[in-house]
Every structure is written in C-alpha cells, then in structure tokens.
Amino acid sequence: MLGLDALLSVGGKLIDKLIPDPEAKAKAQLDLARMAQDGELAKMANDTKLVELMNANTDSARDMNAKVQESSNASWLAKNTAYALDVGIVSATIFLAWFAFIKGVPDANKELVYMALGSLITMSGTILNFHRGSSQGSKDKGADLQRLKDDK
C-alpha cells in the first residue's frame, strides 16, 4: 500500500529521474510540496488504496468461483447460476439498447430507459471485467507502481 510518505518519496524520485532541467525540477518539487500541503497527495493515496481494495475484491470473487467450479460437491445450480445471471444481464443490455435506439421510445419514457440502459451497461462492464480481466494498460500501470514502490 502506498502511503503519503511513499507517494512523496516516489514523486521525488520521478522528478529526479524525469526532469533534467534544474529550474523545472525545483518547480516540480514545489508543486509536489504544495500538493502534500493541500491534501491532494493524501487523496491520491486513498484513491490508490481504493483501487487495490477493488482489485482484491475481484480476485477474491474469482477465487471463490474457481473453487465452486472445481468442487465435486457443488450442485449444478451453484455452478451455473452466476453464468445464467451474466447472460441475462448482457442479453437485457443488448435488448434495451435495440429498443432504445432502433425501435424507439416515447418521449415521456426516454429518461427512464436511458437510466436503465446506463445501469445495464455498467453491470455488463463489470461482468466483462470479472471474466476477461482488466485492460493491459491497467496491468502495466499496476506493474509500474509496484516497481516504483519496490525501488524506495
């Protein structure tokens, strides 16, 4: 976990490595100190912790799902309910998108349909993230953060 001191340390190292100009380096260090005083770095540390917790939550759910699938004692219902829900949510998303954009919706109901479609799209994104993982760019950023954390 990256704390405030760790963020200051990493920020200082990045400034030293990436900014060769002494004047620009001094300005960047002043900006870093200002961010620390304004509480922006603490917010960044909290945001980083939240991302780590969300990733741990997803990993825990994947582990639980793998254990259920590998279990010889789990029923058919236990093994397939989550997948049936996933198919239902993705199907509902496709249907509602077709309904909203191709078939058409009365003006009085547009906001309700768009709100429901937004919720379904969010759930579909969560399903894809669970089954397919996050993007390569996200993985690369995580690896870079871990490498910087290990360098301190």
Q: How high is the pLDDT of residue 1?
A: 41
Q: Are 1 and 139 in contact (CB under 8 A)?
A: no
Residue ranges in the chain whose pLDDT is less than 70: 1-5, 7, 41, 134-142, 148-149, 151-152
Task: Let me know how long the chain is.
Answer: 152
Q: Compute the half-sphere exposure of residue 142: CA atoms within 13 Å on the CB side of its CA.
A: 11
Of the residues 58, 73, 88, the one at which a domain ends: 73
**Domain total in the chain:** 2
Co-location of 67 and 94 in the same domain: no
DSSP class of residue 74 equals: S
- Residue 26: what are its φ and ψ, rounded to 5°? -65, -40
Residues 6+ apart with CB under 8 A from 71: none
pTM over 0.85: no
Q: How high is the pLDDT of residue 138?
A: 64
Q: How high is the pLDDT of residue 40?
A: 74
Co-location of 43 and 110 in the same domain: no
